[in-house]
Amino acid sequence: MIVLAKNLHSIQWPGAAVAAASLLLIKLWPAKWGRHFPATIAAILAGTVAVTLFSIPVETIGSRFGPNAIPRGLPMPSFPSFNWADLPNLIHPALTIALLAAIESLLSAVVADGMIEDKHDSNTEFIAQGIANVGSALFGGLPATGALARTAANVRSGARSPVAGIIHALTILVFVLVTAPLARFIPMPVLSAVLVVVALNMGEWHHFARLKHWPKSDVLVFLLTFALTVLTDITVAVEVGMVLAAVLFIRRISETTRITSVDERELDYDPEQSLHGKTLPPGVAAFQLMGAFMFGATDRLETALRRSDQRPRVVILGMKRVLAFDATGLHALEDFHDELKHRGTQLIIAGAHTQPLMTMRHGTFVAQLGEANFCPDMDTAIARAKELADAAS
């Protein structure tokens, strides 16, 4: 922006006029005509004819980049030059591009699903996109993604299957092979108008009007990513945005985790796992663990035990409502078990789902705790706790 402001005195008014006229034509082009003849094509044709007929002194693709700026034909495949010393510099942008490509393509697929009432296959989408981008690189091409603008235009024009994409590719091929020499006459100001319209359409500015209804954390990520995209570059913006979003996700997940003692319990409508209406043997404390148990929520086990102000011989930990369990959760559970063991207290796990149970089995926790202390439901856990409490008394 500073550079543009410093060079305002160098504006070429004929070029600015052609660009402004092209922009107006695109914006004022009737929608009913756009279905069969896109406004951008109309602007390119009209601008090219006007510049040629009236000899308007503006640069064209040919005058700027030479008569062979757009080659007539396809390049031969060749393996890109690669130096292992460049690998550290390539990983960073490659991961960012892959991430952007995945997000943009899935977003396009979801939008298309909503427009045609269909369901896409994400795995097929990614595999096909990956193969196409690898093949494109062999011909000197750039990585491509599914695009919202083209997808929506295709669907509005009647597309309902991947055949539309094939026709799109063949049309571009015919353009390159047949009409490429004519592209040198296209004025640069007309292309600038087209790019401005594309940028405005990609901006999705309506989201700014909805910010007041979003959570403040989402607004922060949105605005910071937007600002970094404008002030730095999209690679930095995406990386910072993803890290921020991940941190906020961890925070929200940790907020869903709840650990309640039997005295604090709410009504539970699963009779096999409920603490409601059950009598615990003397020297036994029971807790229900709910939500996702992972990084950010692991300190709550000991906090719940300290808050209960109990010195039980046996602690039952109900895990029926644990939806996700990772290595940090397992580490916290192992530390909790060690702390209880140091106090002479035995731990029993009740009602663990497959995912938490598999995570515990992959480590040594099951062996440490003992198979007998993993119970399928609360009733079995209470019976096992009574047995252990009686043995310890």
pLDDT in tens, 65-111: 887 767 777 788 888 788 888 888 888 888 888 888 888 888 788 87
List of domains in the chain: 204-256 (no CATH), 258-392 (3.30.750.24)
The tokens of 32 are what?
A: 């009913």
The pairing of strands 284-293 and 258-261 is antiparallel
Residue carrying the six token digits 């009236």:
54
Which tens digits make up the pLDDT trace of 280-295? 888 888 888 888 877 6
Coil, helix or strand for 230?
Answer: helix
Both tokens of residue 36? 């069969």
Residue 37 is given by DSSP the state S
Neighbour-count burial for 103-116, b at 16+ CB within 10 Å, e otherwise: ebbbebbeebeeee
Q: Are 329 and 254 in contact (CB under 8 A)?
A: no
Count how many Cα atoms sit within 13 Å of the Cα of residue 66 in the half-sphere of its side chain.
4
Q: What is the pTM of this model?
A: 0.61
Burial class (CB in 10 A: 0-12, 13-18, 19+), 329: buried
Nearest to 262 by CA among 247, 281, 238: 281
End-to-end CA distance of the chain: 78
**Mean pLDDT score across all residues of the chain:** 83
* 363, pLDDT greater than 80: no
Consecutive H or E run containing 92: helix 87-116
**pLDDT higher for 336 or 304?**
336
Instruction: Tell me the one-letter amino acid at 372.
Output: A
∠ CA 193-198-201, rounded to 5°? 125
What are the pLDDT digits (tens) for 32-53?
887 778 888 899 999 999 999 9
